Amino acid sequence: MNIRLITKNDAVRLAEYYSSNAHHFCQWEPIREIGYYSEISLQARLSDYAEQQLSGNAAYFIGLNNNNSVIAHCSLTNIIYGPFMACHMGYGVAKEFEGSGTMSRVCAAAIEYAFGQLKLNRVMANYMRCNERSGTLLNKLGFSEEGLAKNYLKINGQWQDHVLTSLLNPANL
């Protein structure tokens, strides 16, 4: 598997990935307007993402299989510098690759980037209690539970509680 930052040229790959996994992802995402994951819509967002990556305000990773198809994604967003030095991590994996270790590898690469390249102190990731796979993944990656946020995000049309977790940069401990 190849893990790398996204580029402006990934719109077709990402549109195919999100389209083929739409039913799988909808249970873990906000309701999106029609066309949100179309090639044209993604192309516009990828330009913005490229600028965010260049300025150090976000980092968007994809995992590609041997056919150069996207099989997983991981984002570092809401990057805050100064005394906080932290970000939020979001992620997803194609339904057919669940349980294969793909998500662990893509998230580990993103975390390495956050701590090594961006020199952040904290990566935060939150998940719904019903998403046991996500909880297991974060635990495996070394994240610690910090609390529960009630009605944290509106996912698939419903306000959902989320378990708050974080991982601290071992170089700062």
Q: What is the pTM of this model?
A: 0.95
Q: pLDDT for 49-102, tens place per residue?
A: 999 999 999 999 999 999 999 999 999 999 999 999 999 999 999 999 999 999
pLDDT score of 173 more than 90: no
Task: Give the pLDDT mean for 154-164.
Answer: 97
Strands (E), the chain: 2-5, 59-64, 70-80, 86-93, 122-127, 144-155, 158-168
Nearest Cα to Cα of residue 93 among 68, 113, 74: 74
CA distance 71 to 3: 10
Judged against a pLDDT cut of 90, whether residue 39 lies above it is answered with yes
Counting Cα atoms < 13 Å in the Cβ hemisphere of 106 gives: 32
Question: For position 126, what pLDDT does the model report?
Answer: 98
Q: Give the domains, in start order, of the chain with CATH numbers.
A: 2-172 (3.40.630.30)
User: Could you identify the residue written with the tokens 């019903």?
Assistant: 130
pLDDT in tens, 100-144: 999 999 999 999 999 999 999 999 999 999 999 999 999 999 999
Q: How many whole angstroms separate alpha carbon 52 and alpha carbon 97?
A: 28
**42 DSSP assignment:** H
Q: Cα 13 to chain center, whole Å?
A: 16
Largest CA distance in the chain: 45
Contact 34, 65 (CB under 8 A): no
